[in-house]
């Protein structure tokens, strides 16, 4: 193995170790990409890091290389629903007559070895510890073994986390909620007091505000206006709720569900002073939760997010807007409440405390505003 190859392998391995184990980047598998490694971290300023070990002979080859890189970036951007995607291309083998230039969305640097990092001050703005983290006490074979073991351990840990989130679990809460809705409907029918129960427990603004019957904000979500209404909502709850319970966990799921009921009921009584019943507001809240979860795990759910989740939400909102008798304001209120509640409770292994605190603050402000509007104008 010649000296040039040893040198390139060494700097590439050190960079991979830093970006994967220290900065939580993950490898991107690309077909036909030779002598280059792509890494992604959608939470970082540089969402994509590209390490190029191929020898770039001249300016024309560099221009063609960056042209291909931009084409790949566009595909990654569409797949991950990223509005903006800055990338860093790290070249490890440039010809003497090749000068790197500004390229807009792709910043380029040349590292013959780790000492060249000092030539690029802007790197320290994004990776302040990169210089120190590329220094190792090990050398030769021991260094390669350490780097390989560390990367394999990090990749294994990340794979175990993803498997934990996506592996099938018992959907106890979803089945319990479906069961409650069915039992309540049977009680309404068998008791012979169907209309009386609707009248006494539906989400009805006049009774909630004037008579302080606040329980109606919740109880209306467990009543249904007929067998078709019940079956449709229970089926939707089972399909969507099972996914949210599986991905988010039971206590997060319950918080999202009941917050969605609350925001759906509040917006409903603000916009419509008529009785409203049904679990659809909460179900739309679960759709909002699924959208937020899918965005965080869009590397794994990018195609599903684009082809199924987003069209499902849009289609149901349009159906609610143009179908008589459907309380679409409850759907919108539930969707917003569920989305914000999911930010507040967080997505496992993805959300930061800062995001969760901000999400909870916005959610509480929304609920306070809805209460104010309900009691001020009704």
One domain, residues 215 and 115: no
Specify the pLDDT at position 378: 54
One domain, residues 88 and 174: no
One domain, residues 32 and 75: yes
One domain, residues 101 and 200: no
One domain, residues 115 and 227: no
Specify the pLDDT at position 283: 96
Q: Which pTM was predicted?
A: 0.84
For residues 141-158, average pLDDT: 90
CA angle 187, 191, 195 (to 5 degrees): 90
Give the model confidence (pLDDT) of 294-312 as tens digits: 988 887 876 777 777 888 8
Lowest mean pLDDT among 75-79, 130-134, 245-249: 75-79
- pLDDT bin (cut points 50, 70, 90) of residue 336 is very high
Among candidate residues 149, 165, 181, the one where a domain is terminated: 165
Between 6 and 118, where is the model more confident? Answer: 118
| Model confidence at 4: pLDDT above 60 | no
CA distances from 317 to 259, 263, 310, 327, 354 (A): 19, 16, 11, 10, 31
Domain total of the chain? 2
One domain, residues 228 and 359: yes
- pLDDT bin (cut points 50, 70, 90) of residue 377 is low
Specify the pLDDT at position 313: 85
Specify the pLDDT at position 75: 85
- pLDDT bin (cut points 50, 70, 90) of residue 14 is very high
One domain, residues 188 and 335: yes
Mean pLDDT of the chain: 90
For residues 35-53, average pLDDT: 91
Q: Which of 80-89, 314-323, 335-344 has the highest mean pLDDT?
A: 335-344
- pLDDT bin (cut points 50, 70, 90) of residue 137 is confident
Specify the pLDDT at position 1: 42
| Model confidence at 289: pLDDT above 60 | yes
| Model confidence at 2: pLDDT above 60 | no
| Model confidence at 213: pLDDT above 50 | yes
For residues 188-209, average pLDDT: 91
Specify the pLDDT at position 16: 94
Among candidate residues 165, 192, 224, the one where a domain is terminated: 165
The whole-angstrom separation of Cα 68 and Cα 47 is 17
Specify the pLDDT at position 32: 65
One domain, residues 196 and 151: no
Host domain of residue 254: 169-377
One domain, residues 257 and 304: yes
For residues 141-164, average pLDDT: 90
| Model confidence at 178: pLDDT above 50 | yes
| Model confidence at 23: pLDDT above 50 | yes
Provide the CATH number for the domain around residue 253: 1.20.1540.10
One domain, residues 339 and 211: yes
For residues 350-372, average pLDDT: 95
One domain, residues 45 and 63: yes
Give the model confidence (pLDDT) of 259-273 as tens digits: 999 999 999 999 988
| Model confidence at 30: pLDDT above 80 | no
Among candidate residues 165, 199, 228, the one where a domain is terminated: 165
One domain, residues 212 and 91: no
């Amino acid at each position: 193995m010649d000296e040039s190859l040893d040198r390139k392998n060494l700097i590439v391995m050190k960079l991979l170790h830093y970006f994967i184990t220290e900065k939580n980047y993950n490898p991107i598998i690309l077909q036909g990409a030779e002598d280059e490694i792509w890494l992604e971290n959608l939470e970082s300023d540089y969402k994509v890091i590209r390490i190029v070990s191929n020898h770039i002979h001249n300016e024309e080859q560099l221009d063609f290389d960056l042209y291909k890189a931009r084409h790949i970036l566009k595909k990654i951007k569409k797949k991950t629903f990223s509005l903006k995607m800055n990338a860093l291309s790290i070249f490890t083998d440039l010809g003497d007559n090749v000068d790197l230039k500004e390229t807009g969305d792709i910043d380029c640097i040349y590292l013959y070895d780790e000492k060249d990092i000092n030539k690029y001050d802007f790197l320290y703005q994004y990776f302040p510890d990169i210089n120190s983290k590329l220094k190792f006490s090990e050398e030769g074979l021991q260094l390669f073994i350490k780097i390989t073991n560390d990367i394999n351990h990090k990749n294994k840990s990340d794979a175990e986390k993803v498997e934990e989130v996506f592996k099938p679990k018992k959907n106890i809460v979803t089945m319990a909620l479906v069961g409650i809705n069915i039992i309540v409907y049977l009680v309404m029918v068998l008791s012979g007091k169907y209309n009386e129960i609707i009248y006494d427990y539906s989400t009805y603004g006049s009774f909630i505000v004037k008579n302080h019957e606040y329980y109606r904000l919740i109880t209306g979500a467990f009543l249904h206006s007929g067998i078709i209404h019940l079956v449709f909502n229970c089926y939707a709850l089972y399909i969507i709720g099972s996914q949210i319970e599986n991905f988010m966990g039971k206590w997060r799921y319950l918080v999202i569900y009941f917050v969605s009921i609350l925001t759906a009921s509040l917006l409903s009584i603000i916009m419509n002073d008529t009785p409203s019943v049904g679990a659809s507001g909460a179900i739309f809240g679960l759709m909002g939760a699924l959208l937020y979860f899918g965005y965080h795990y869009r590397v794994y759910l990018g195609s599903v997010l684009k082809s199924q989740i987003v069209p499902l939400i849009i289609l149901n909102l349009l159906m609610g807007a143009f179908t008589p008798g459907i309380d679409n304001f409850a759907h919108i209120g539930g969707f917003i409440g569920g989305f914000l509640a999911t930010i507040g409770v967080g997505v496992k292994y993805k959300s930061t405390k800062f995001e969760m605190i901000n999400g909870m603050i916005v959610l509480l402000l929304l609920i306070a505003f809805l209460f104010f509007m309900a009691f001020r104008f009704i």
